[in-house]
Amino acid sequence: MKNLKFYNALFLRVFIVIIILFSSLYLAQQKLYYNSILVGAVVIIALAEMYFFIKSKMSFYDKTILSILQNDYSTNFPEEQRKGSFKNLSILYDTLKEKQQEQKSKELIYRSILNNIDTAILILEKENDNWNIFLMNDCFSTTFSVPKVSHWDYLKNYLPSLFKEIENTQFSELKTAIDVKIEQQDLQTFMLQTSLTKSLNKEYFIILLDSIQRVIDKKEKEAWITLMKIISHELMNSLTPIRSLSQNLLQIIDQEKLEEDDFDDIKSSISTIINRSDHLQIFVENYRKLAMLPTPDKKPVSINTLFEDCLNIMAPILKEQGIELINNINSSRSILIDKSQIEQVIINLITNSVFALKDKQEKKIYLSALSENNRFFITISDNGKGIEPEIRDKIFLPFFTTRKEGAGIGLTLSKNIIEAHGGYLSYQTDENRTDFVICLI
């Protein structure tokens, strides 16, 4: 309908020009030359007006289309154009302008999120055969003391080790540790992880860098917070009733005369206070075991002798619980360890397996050993219920236990002992099997 108005206006102008032109020719035939010249001038003016009319319409149309193509929505449509021939074009322009504003808002939110993440993030965008920096978050810029440059090659002067690592892999996906020297500081170790992705025919290369020391510090802080919560919980569980009972005792002895029932209350209160005090003493002793672990007194110990002594201690319990122990360890070699400490670890792990097999009909514990790359591995496995997913990240925390009679220091103490020997303690689990692996160097 709007285009029809435009064509009607154009047709009217053409029609008027034709009439005037024929009038000019007719006057010329009648030898009315002056009149013919005057009419000819009117034709020229009409043609000029029609030219500028068409140019104005097409210029506005071209300008608007060019703005859309260049994502430039700074121009505002004149009000008369919104109601005239270009109403649909103005609606399209406003719609795309709104979409662009929404996109910019989302981009600001995404950038804000990325800038508040503690991981150093660098996103590269491929143009032709070159990589440009699409985004560098604040953590990256701050951690490595680099300005937010736009070209990947510029980073070569600031972070040559990172540049070399990425270039050597030809921008392929990888996950590795990398040492980076920041300005004049010592080398720092970072976990480098990269990925390649495509979107709308564009290639993006995402680089993530995490300071290993920062991750360790964070884990240590979280562990200390959890430990303090557990210690506070245990202390309050004992101190609260002790305080309450002490106040009750004061009230009783302040009476002028004590009845028989009062003496019973006194005995009961004192007994409870002693029990809670004993619990606190055991708790503190367990904490001392963790905090004051003696340095291992390493001596050569026969592997067979080590396990024979451990199994002699555990044999009565295994027999009582009806557990079949399958010992695949038969080695004449010796390892350099603190025998009493490693025995404690093995006994702790076998005891945990006994507990895991409590509700199983077929109860089996497997022992195996392997020597590889100058390392000695001991594996203690059971076909128990496995470790539930929600507690897998807590089993090595001090005083965490799922057993009513447990103190919650067995696995923590075992882990500390193995680490004091220069090794590590790890595990694998599913719903039908759990393997604890001791690695000794």
pLDDT in tens, 326-377: 898 887 788 899 888 898 889 889 988 888 888 788 899 999 988 887 888 9
Q: What pLDDT is recorded for position 1?
A: 46
Under 8 Å between Cβ of 325 and 358:
no
Structure tokens at 305: 């002798």
Q: Where is average pLDDT lowest: 38-42, 44-48, 316-320?
A: 38-42
The closest of 131, 135, 134, 155 to 145, measured between CA atoms, is 155
Instruction: State the Cα–Cα distance between residues 68 and 79, nearest whole angstrom.
Output: 19
Structure tokens at 241: 């009733």
The yes-or-no verdict on residue 127 having pLDDT over 50 is yes
Instruction: pLDDT band for 11, please (50, 70, 90 cuts).
Output: low
pLDDT tens digits along 137-158: 988 888 888 888 888 888 878 8
The residue count for the chain: 441
> What pLDDT band is residue 262 in, cutting at 50, 70 and 90?
confident
Q: Does 105 score more than 80 pLDDT?
A: yes
Mean of per-residue pLDDT scores for the chain: 77
Cβ distance 149 to 141 under 8 Å? no
Give residue 118's pLDDT.
82
Tell me the C-alpha distance between 134 and 122, whole Å. Answer: 8
Specify the DSSP element, H or E, that contains 59.
Answer: helix 33-69
Whether the full predicted model's pTM is greater than 0.85, yes or no, is no
Mean pLDDT of 290-298: 73
For 440, other C-beta atoms within 10 Å of its C-beta total 17
